[in-house]
Chains A and B, each alone.
Chain A
């Protein structure tokens, strides 16, 4: 950051060049040469200023992007659901907001994988897993992500992350995973 020319420094350079032109002597050739030098300095300074400005904007954008990426990463890519429910919980919405903000900065596609716990029948759970993935998709679409960028798939109860029974395992398996 400190090594880069700042817009302030560029302006100083510009004023110095202008001052030099204003204070130059009366000799025409010298005047012309000086004017030419000043003009070149002016162009160079303007270019430097533009370059600096561009880099600064880029830098701010990159910083913002990094911030969005970090927020999305911190939000996690797994969103959990209550038993037999496809209603997005507030914490899932909050986490999704972070992903939506990041997705708005690109045209990247995502895949939403819906899962259920082992209770109930397998094919009904396939449908329930799809309902969950669709609930996440609908939330993203409402918040400005084009639906063609989102693919949904349900695995039902076929791919648990926590094997075994009991709510401690089941609650980890009732989920939608966002995959890029």
Chain B
């Protein structure tokens, strides 16, 4: 909470549903609570348009850049001119308001939507990059996010992760009645939410297939926990497990062929591998302790998991080739539910410190752990595909909300729901175009 006032310029609630008259209203609201100390000023000029442009495309880009915490977008009201071509740019207009970069664009909507954009360096008075994205008109927001990705990468050297999607679980408590559990799919900014499953019984542990075409999750809809997978294009749904005891923690292998999961049918919870084509099941841990929360290393050669075989929950690593298990975390009495960044180095996990649960990053190379959050009851970390941010669930008052923090701890934003509790965010891989 002490970080709230550090960057007052960014401490604004951006209601991202404002420009989405045709799509479902976003359930999540984004509140940026902390940006970098010296964010780069950038002006994102409203794009000129021909045809029926269904979105404020520049507004989507501007919100993306603001949410990254690394940019301080110029208010539209402060803009002295609204160029949409290089000939219309008067650099003095932008120097006058201390802008470092200027992004302009033109969109045309016909059978397809096409966005041409150009980025200029105000001080050097020259073009930095230009580009074009095209796609279906009803994917206008995703196209705008792709512009954001290109700009972000050009200016930071790191690929953007805006043209991605989120899964999350929300719960509506009904006084006197039963709760409603919903699994929702939304864009990375919370826009365009689609309910994939609604149930009176718990829904848990949503996770992505590596190509982002399918999701897997645990549903109690049969009266017992079972793992399901659902195809996002066809909507086809398949129940994968129905064993006595736990059926939990599905995790897709990087090649998409195998699902790691947790079953307790043989006694205590152990990690199993389910071959999705043959449906053959292979048990890979055998221990009377709790083994759970498997996650794959990006190379697919080993898995991290949580086990209390040492007395308290810690992260262990199982090597699929050697069959050897070794302990990964030693700092503190509680480290659980690891998620590995695509670099195979940064591991986001839940770490207990002074009785509170925080999100931390454990570096597999230096074997050092650093705590990223100061709130309590933080859980379910999920790393952006570019490795820059960790999305997680926490509590604000009595409500469950989503929150995000950069892996260096410098940028923070919150995504509370308009109502009810939200939890278990899962950030997708890059969506294939």
Q: Which residues of A contact B (CB under 8 A)?
A: 118-124, 126-128, 130-131, 152-156, 158-159, 163-165
Q: A120-B313, A153-B225, A154-B225 are in contact. List 5 more A-B contacts (CB 8 A).
A: A120-B357, A122-B380, A122-B423, A123-B249, A156-B204
Q: Judge whether B161 is part of the interface by a CB distance below 8 angstroms.
A: no
Q: Judge whether B205 is part of the interface by a CB distance below 8 angstroms.
A: yes
Q: Which of B202, B376, B398 contacts A163 (CB 8 A)?
A: B398
In the complex, what residue of chain A is closest to B423 when comparing beta carbons? A122
What residues of chain A lie closer than 8 Å to B204, measured between beta carbons?
122-123, 126, 156, 158
Q: Judge whether B25 is part of the interface by a CB distance below 8 angstroms.
A: no
Some 8 contacts from A to B, beta carbons below 8 A apart, are A118-B377, A121-B337, A121-B379, A122-B379, A123-B249, A124-B336, A154-B225, A164-B398
In the complex, what residue of chain B is closest to A154 when comparing beta carbons? B246
* Bound Cα distance A127, B220 (Å): 15
Cross-chain contact A123 with B292 (CB below 8 angstroms)? yes
* Bound Cα distance A153, B225 (Å): 8
What residues of chain A lie closer than 8 Å to B313, measured between beta carbons?
120-121, 124
Cross-chain contact B337 with A130 (CB below 8 angstroms)? no
Q: Judge whether B68 is part of the interface by a CB distance below 8 angstroms.
A: no
Given the known A-B contacts A122-B205, A152-B245, A163-B398, are A131 and B379 also in contact in the complex, defined by CB atoms under 8 Å? Answer: no
Q: Which of B264, B423, B424 contacts A127 (CB 8 A)?
A: B264
* Bound Cα distance A124, B290 (Å): 8
The 5 closest A-B pairs by CB, nearest first: A158-B202, A127-B290, A121-B337, A121-B336, A127-B269
**What is the size category of the interface that chain B forms with chain A?**
35 or more
Cross-chain contact A165 with B398 (CB below 8 angstroms)? yes
Interface string of B296-334 (1 = CB under 8 A from A): 000000000010100001000000000000000000001
In the complex, what residue of chain A is closest to B338 when comparing beta carbons? A121
Cross-chain contact B292 with A124 (CB below 8 angstroms)? yes
Cross-chain contact B357 with A119 (CB below 8 angstroms)? yes
Interface string of B336-376 (1 = CB under 8 A from A): 11000000000000101000010000000000000000001
Cross-chain contact A126 with B350 (CB below 8 angstroms)? no
Q: Judge whether B293 is part of the interface by a CB distance below 8 angstroms.
A: yes
Cross-chain contact A121 with B293 (CB below 8 angstroms)? yes
Q: Smallest Cβ distance from B32 to chain A, in angstroms? A: 25
In the complex, what residue of chain B is closest to A128 when comparing beta carbons? B290
* Bound Cα distance A155, B203 (Å): 10
Q: Smallest Cβ distance from B117 to chain A, in angstroms? A: 41
In the complex, what residue of chain B is closest to A159 when comparing beta carbons? B202
In the complex, what residue of chain A is closest to B264 when comparing beta carbons? A130
Q: Which of A124, A131, A153 contacts B293 (CB 8 A)?
A: A124
What residues of chain A lie closer than 8 Å to B395, measured between beta carbons?
165
Q: Which residues of B in the span 198-219 have a Cβ within 8 Å of any Cβ on A?
A: 202, 204-205
Q: Judge whether B173 is part of the interface by a CB distance below 8 angstroms.
A: yes
Q: Judge whether B248 is part of the interface by a CB distance below 8 angstroms.
A: yes
Cross-chain contact B245 with A126 (CB below 8 angstroms)? no
Cross-chain contact A126 with B398 (CB below 8 angstroms)? no
Cross-chain contact B350 with A123 (CB below 8 angstroms)? no
Q: Judge whether B262 is part of the interface by a CB distance below 8 angstroms.
A: yes
In the complex, what residue of chain A is closest to B424 when comparing beta carbons? A122
What residues of chain B lie closer than 8 Å to A164, measured between beta carbons?
398
What residues of chain A lie closer than 8 Å to B336, measured between beta carbons?
120-121, 124
Cross-chain contact A126 with B246 (CB below 8 angstroms)? yes
Q: Smallest Cβ distance from B114 to chain A, in angstroms? A: 44
What residues of chain A lie closer than 8 Å to B350, measured between beta carbons?
120-121
In the complex, what residue of chain B is closest to A131 when comparing beta carbons? B290
What residues of chain A lie closer than 8 Å to B306, measured between beta carbons?
121, 123-124
What residues of chain A lie closer than 8 Å to B334, measured between beta carbons?
120
What residues of chain B lie closer than 8 Å to A123, measured between beta carbons?
204-205, 248-249, 262, 292-293, 306, 337
Cross-chain contact A155 with B202 (CB below 8 angstroms)? yes
In the complex, what residue of chain A is closest to B352 when comparing beta carbons? A120
Q: Smallest Cβ distance from A135 to chain B, in angstroms? A: 13
What residues of chain A lie closer than 8 Å to B245, measured between beta carbons?
130, 152
What residues of chain A lie closer than 8 Å to B380, measured between beta carbons?
121-122
What residues of chain A lie closer than 8 Å to B398, measured between beta carbons?
163-165
What residues of chain A lie closer than 8 Å to B357, measured between beta carbons?
119-120
Q: Which of B292, B337, B395, B424 has the most CB of A within 10 A?
A: B292
In the complex, what residue of chain B is closest to A84 when comparing beta carbons? B312
Q: Smallest Cβ distance from B330 to chain A, in angstroms? A: 18
* Bound Cα distance A19, B350 (Å): 91
What residues of chain B lie closer than 8 Å to A127, measured between beta carbons?
246, 248, 262, 264, 269, 290, 292
In the complex, what residue of chain B is closest to A155 when comparing beta carbons? B202
Q: Smallest Cβ distance from A171 to chain B, in angstroms? A: 15
* Bound Cα distance A44, B377 (Å): 77
Cross-chain contact B246 with A130 (CB below 8 angstroms)? yes
Q: Smallest Cβ distance from A1 to chain B, in angstroms? A: 43
In the complex, what residue of chain A is closest to B421 when comparing beta carbons? A163
In the complex, what residue of chain B is closest to A129 when comparing beta carbons? B246
Q: Which of A121, A124, A153, A163 contacts B224 (CB 8 A)?
A: A153
Cross-chain contact B293 with A119 (CB below 8 angstroms)? no
* Bound Cα distance A121, B379 (Å): 6
Cross-chain contact A163 with B248 (CB below 8 angstroms)? no
In the complex, what residue of chain A is closest to B334 when comparing beta carbons? A120
* Bound Cα distance A179, B336 (Å): 31
Q: Smallest Cβ distance from A159 to chain B, in angstroms? A: 7
Q: Which residues of B in the span 241-260 have a Cβ within 8 Å of any Cβ on A?
A: 245-246, 248-249
In the complex, what residue of chain A is closest to B376 when comparing beta carbons? A165
In the complex, what residue of chain B is closest to A164 when comparing beta carbons? B398
* Bound Cα distance A122, B421 (Å): 15
What residues of chain B lie closer than 8 Å to A156, measured between beta carbons?
204
